[in-house]
Amino acid sequence: MKTQTWFRNSLLALLTMATTTAQALSLDWTGHYRFEYTQIESTTLGNPKNPKAYFLHNLVLSPRVIAADGIEVVAQFSVLGNANYPGSMAGQSFGIAAPTAPAGSSVMGRNAGVSNLEVRQLYLSYNQEYGQLIAGRAPVEFGLGMTYNAGNGPFDVWGDTHDLVGYKFVVGNLSFMPMIGKPYDPSLSAGGDVTDVMLDITYNNEETESLFAIFSQQRTSGDQSNDAGSYLAGTQTRAYNVRNVNLLIGRGWESFKFKLEAGFADGGTGMDIGGEEQKANGYGIVTELEFPRQNSNWDWKLRAGVVSGDNPTSNNFEGYALHRNYNVAFLMFNHPMGGYDLFRSYFQRQRSPACTTAPCAPYANDNALDEEVVSNTIFLNPSVNYKLGDRWSLHNNFVYAQLQVNSSTVAGNDISKDLGFEWDIAAVYQPHPRFQWVNQVGLLFPGSAWKEGNVDRDAAFTYGFQTKAAISF
């Protein structure tokens, strides 16, 4: 009898301990699944057309381990990662994984190949009364997402992550967050790394919708770790030392809201041309205006911006690029198009991971995903959406743009600044706040700038179609 009592009490104690542990440690999951089909009639704007069409799908999972009050460990996994775009959320295209039974046969295969799981984020978050500690590989986001974009949208393919340590001090509506990061550090020895020193100061009054913020990033490298020569002209002779500063202001009223963000880059690239160091001095300015109307089915927005481009005739680097996630159109500034690099976006284009000897060429237009960026341009982007019912809405997006600088590398060749315009029409089905299905057509009417002056390249009309769906949980 005593043995039974002891056993019962011991079992009860173990169950109590297990319950207490389970309450102290919990695990929450969030994420999203994205599927898309994209087809573009011509990526050259001429003959041969070099069309492209592909399916993509991807699952992003974000577990959050709540170890104790205020202490969390956060991770993010990408299921079916894309080997051509490592670290992205692009997902795999249908058929890219070679069949495994029988191995290596494209016509006899019975099952698709397997893929590795990509870990994009892993960091500690410690919330206290006056602030938050972040340590690990964490997302970085600021302002409109034109420069720093974590890729939190359901259809976002790209996202910024940094290995960093930072502490966010919060006093009322004001926050102050110094951070130090390591974008690159190949070994334990000193001198071969790249270091980021960052500062985020934000004032955000949600009651008055008043917003002011500044983000500063100073990136420095050692002499050995400066690989700017993979993208920039010249001879590498010294370290990389460039500062990026972004300013954000915003204000909102009942019938009008606006935000404006300006980014500036300056410093030394460590690349010498003609005995002088190539300096970085690019900039980008974007404004977003909203005109909300209560109890109306119409939604009006306007975006406009100016982004500097790298002048091929100067010894400095004037290029500035908005984030790949900052899309103003379906085709223009999103998918690589045409016969030459008229946006001077070579420093942001993807190179094959298999290429080990610089300079490495970017992917061909018909083999590249939506990796083009907004650069070397002045653009105007009005959009109007109409709600057809509880679940359907019709979106219209219009973009007109001009070049900033002559991007032709042909000596003495004067080119037009007219980039033309694009009209995108989309039907959006959203039966649930966490699910949406988008069917979109993009019509691109290229301007004379695509012809590259005396080179007289093709600049014919083209169009694209995309259907995509995303579910968040």
* Domain membership flag for residue 383: yes
Residue-wise pLDDT tens digits, 29-82: 999 999 999 999 999 999 999 999 999 999 999 999 999 999 999 999 999 889
From 117, 123, 193, select the one nearest 161 (Cα to Cα): 123
* Domain membership flag for residue 194: yes
In the numeric block, which tokens belong to residue 386?
């109409």
Q: What is the number of domains present in the chain?
A: 1
pLDDT reported for residue 99: 72
With a cut of 50, list the residues of the chain below it in pLDDT: 1-4, 6-8, 10-24
Q: Give Cα separations from 96 to 93, 114, 442 (angstroms).
A: 6, 10, 26
* Domain membership flag for residue 5: no
pLDDT reported for residue 290: 97
pLDDT reported for residue 231: 82
Q: 136: which strand partners?
A: 123, 164
In 326-434, which ranges are continuous DSSP H helix? Answer: none
* Secondary element (H or E) of residue 23: helix 2-24
pLDDT reported for residue 116: 80
Give the integer Cα–Cα distance in Å for 213 and 436.
32
For 50, counting Cβ atoms within 10 Å of its Cβ (0-12 exposed, 13-18 middle, 19+ buried), the class is: middle
pLDDT reported for residue 9: 53
Give yes or no for a contact between 267 and 242, defined as CB atoms under 8 angstroms apart: yes
* Domain membership flag for residue 16: no
* Domain membership flag for residue 435: yes
pLDDT reported for residue 115: 80
pLDDT reported for residue 104: 66
Quick one: DSSP state of residue 297? S
CATH value at residue 255: 2.40.160.100
Q: 350: which strand partners?
A: none
* Domain membership flag for residue 17: no
* Residue ranges making up the domain that contains 299: 27-472
In the numeric block, which tokens belong to residue 465?
């179609």
pLDDT reported for residue 129: 87
Residue-wise pLDDT tens digits, 375-395: 999 999 999 999 999 999 999
* Domain membership flag for residue 14: no
From 323, 327, 309, select the one nearest 404 (Cα to Cα): 309
Give the integer Cα–Cα distance in Å for 240 and 319.
16
Q: Look up tokens 């205006």; give the residue.
A: 289
